[in-house]
Amino acid sequence: MTATHSTRMLILGSGPAGLSAAIYGARAGLAPIVVQGMQPGGQLTITTDVENYPGFKDVIQGPWLMEQMQAQAEHVGAQMMYDQIVDVDLSQRPFRLTGDGGVVYVADTLVICTGAQAKWLGVEGEEHLQGKGVSACATCDGFFYRGKKVVVIGGGNTAVEEALYLTNHSHDVTLIHRRDTLRAEKILQERLHAHPNIKVLWNKAVDKFVGGGTPEGLVGVDLIDTVTGEKSHEPTDGGFVAIGHHPATELFTGKLPTDEGYLLVEKGTTRTSIPGVFAAGDVTDKIYRQAVTAAGMGCMAALDVEKFLAEADFEAMVEA
C-alpha cells in the first residue's frame, strides 16, 4: 500500500535554504517535512573549505556544516525524507506531490529549495580536481588563491564578473574564451579590458585540467585553439569554470513562471504566483548564489509560510 504523508509545510531540498526554512518552520510548530532530493545537503556537501559562512573563525568543511544544520532542524522537530519528487500537482490546495518510489506527500504549503547546479565543461580532470584547484565559484573560493595565478573559463557576464572579482586576490588572472568576442555586457567588457591584471586568451577551449604536486592539485590547463586546432598549455594554480548555472526547476515547468529557468517570486518575499507555494535559495537567485543568502531566504520562506497559514486559518474560522 502506498504511503501518504500529510504536512502543513513541505520543503523540497535540503541545502542551506531548505534546512533554514525547516528550522524556522519547526520552531513555529508547523512540523515541516523535508524531502532531501538527489543531493542531500545541497552543493555544500561537495565543497571542502568554507571560510565565509558567518559564525566560524576557522575554516570549516561544507559537509560538516550541512550535517550540523540538518541535526539542528531535526532537533527542533523537522522530519527528513530521503526521497526525490517526480510529480507535482499545484492545481489546488492541499498540494499533492509524488516521490520516485510512489510515496505521496499532501501539503498545505510548499517551499521550493531545489537549488541550482553549476554547469561544468565535462573535460578530463575536471571532476577529479574539484576542490583541489578547480571551482565554479570565485566568490566562494577566490580567497584561497591570494597571490597565485588563476584562470577563468567562459565569455558571459558570470565569467567577466568572476575574473574582475579575482583581481582582489590575484595579480595574474587569465580569461579563457572559446570565441573571439565576449557575450558579456559592454560595460563589463570595458572594465575587463581596462584592468592591468587580466589578460584574455581568445579562441581557446580547455581540453584537460592537469594535476600534479604533493598533495595533488591543479597545476595547469591543456588548451586547444578552436580555429587552428593548435594545442597549448597554460600553467595555473586555480581554474574557475564560469559558464553558467542550471536551476533545478524542471518539475515546475509550465506550472510556475520562471526567468532563465529561475523561479520568480514577488519582490521582497518568497511568494510565487501560486498562493501557498514559496521559493528560496539558488532556485530563485541568479545573482548572489551564496550559502548565507540562501539560508536567509529560507528563513524568509518559513516566516512567509507562517503568515500565510495564520491568515488561511483565520479565514476558515470566520467562514465556519
E strands along 62-216, which residues? 79-81, 85-89, 95-99, 104-112, 116-118, 134-135, 149-153, 172-176, 198-201, 204-212
Please give the grid coordinates belonging to residue 234.
Answer: 597554460
Catalytic residue among 83, 108, 113, 141: 141
Catalytic residue among 108, 140, 282, 304: 140
d(CA 24, CA 129): 36
Residue 137 is among the residues annotated as catalytic for this protein: yes
Paired strand residues for 213 = none
Report the amino acid identity of residue 72.
Q
| β pairing state of 95-99 and 104-112 | antiparallel
d(CA 202, CA 224): 11
d(CA 318, CA 320): 5
- For 135-140, the CB contacts below 8 A with 24+ separation are 135/238, 135/239, 135/240, 135/241, 136/240, 136/241, 136/242, 137/240, 137/289, 138/162, 138/163, 138/165, 138/166, 138/240, 138/242, 139/52, 139/165, 139/290, 140/47, 140/50, 140/52, 140/290
- Mapping DSSP to helix (H, G, I), strand (E, B) and coil, where does residue 117 land? strand
Catalytic residue among 137, 172, 222, 299: 137
**DSSP for residue 130:** B
d(CA 96, CA 76): 25
Please give the grid coordinates belonging to residue 256.
Answer: 510556475
| β pairing state of 231-235 and 116-118 | unpaired
Residue 141 is among the residues annotated as catalytic for this protein: yes
Give me the active site residues, please. Answer: 137, 140-141
